[in-house]
Amino acid sequence: MVEVLILVCTFVAGFLLIFGVNLVISDSRRSDQLERRIEMLNEVRVQQRNRVKESVVQNAKLAEMAAEAAKGTTAERRSIKEQLQAMLWQAGMRIRPEKLLMFAGLSGTVVGLLAGVISRKPFVAVISAAIVMAVPFLVIQHKRKKRLDSLLAQLPDGFELMSRVMRAGQSISQSMQSVALECADPIAEEFGYCYEQQNLGLNPEFALRDLSSRTGLLEIKVFVLAVIINRQTGGSLTELLEKLSKVVRDRYRMRGKVRALTAEGRMQGMVLMLLPFGVYVILLLANRPYALKLFDHPGIILGTLGWMGVGGLWIRKMINFEF
């Protein structure tokens, strides 16, 4: 009987010992699992906070780019040399600003000296030099406007071509190469230059931003902004290009309608600006000594030219507007 009690006690003691050890081990495991869960939750919270911070920064950048595109200007201020370089590039002329300034200065100086020697009046020399110096810039501005109008007319077809190429499985850089190969200048030159920049290792975002900065067109800025947002957030870029093509085409048609409706105002402004010079030429042919008396009063000429400039800017403001 005593032996049986000893065995039972031994069994119970062993059972209690094993049960206690098991409780200690299970408690330690539970505490380890709880600590791991807490660490995982902390990591998830940190990741979520980082994502929120990244999204805030990203949205701020996108908002900044959108504001730049809406304003039609770049965020940084350009120097006069950079503005001249951009104007020459947009006009399709690959010359340096220094050569342009040198040519304008030399031509204006030579013509001013000739006019001064012939008329023997310093005022005539100054006016002649100023007019001749302004002629190269006016020619470049005219070529720039003509080239940008051609580029704007080609954009809808270029975007549609890019959409078809990307729908076939190609990348956006390859679609820009297709535009450079299939389309005519100036869109072929601009998109081909952007493709070569990316092909030589330049960051695509920097290449697109450079394209936007070179052209200066609002439609190109919107295209670049859409591509950058698509690269960061995802989405169907082909559908976006198709919609953008439709929007640009509608804007181009509306621009043509506006030009047609304001054609009469532009003609009136041109007639009003050229009428004084035409009347003076007629007066010069009819009574030359009387007409030359005007150069004895330079203040009248300067005042007339100044008010004519104000009137021309006023008319330009009325017939040209952004939409």
Quick one: pLDDT at residue 48? 52
Over range 268-281, report the average pLDDT.
85
pLDDT tens digits for 95-145?
888 888 888 888 888 888 887 777 777 777 888 888 888 888 888 888 888
Over range 1-10, report the average pLDDT.
61
pLDDT tens digits for 277-315?
888 889 888 888 888 888 778 778 888 888 888 888 887
Amino acid at 138: L
Locate 94 and state its tokens.
């690959």
pLDDT category at 46 given cuts 50, 70, 90 is low
Question: What is 89-120 written as a DSSP string?
Answer: HHTT----HHHHHHHHHHHHHHHHHHHHHHH-
3-state secondary structure of 201: coil
Quick one: pLDDT at residue 55? 45
> Cis peptide before 186, with omega less than 30 degrees from 0?
yes
Instruction: Count Cβ neighbours within 10 Å for each residue of 41-50 and write b for 16 or more, e otherwise.
Output: eeeeeeeeee
Contact 218, 155 (CB under 8 A): no
Over the chain, what is the mean pLDDT?
76
Cα of 46 vs its chain's centroid, Å = 37
CA distances from 321 to 104, 266, 303, 318 (A): 31, 13, 28, 7
Question: Using CA atoms, how far apart are residues 239 and 246, in angstroms rounded to an integer?
Answer: 11
Quick one: pLDDT at residue 75? 41
pLDDT category at 4 given cuts 50, 70, 90 is low
Contact 223, 97 (CB under 8 A): no
Checking if the pLDDT of 59 tops 60, the result is: no
pLDDT tens digits for 137-192?
888 888 888 888 888 888 888 888 888 888 887 788 888 888 888 888 888 888 88
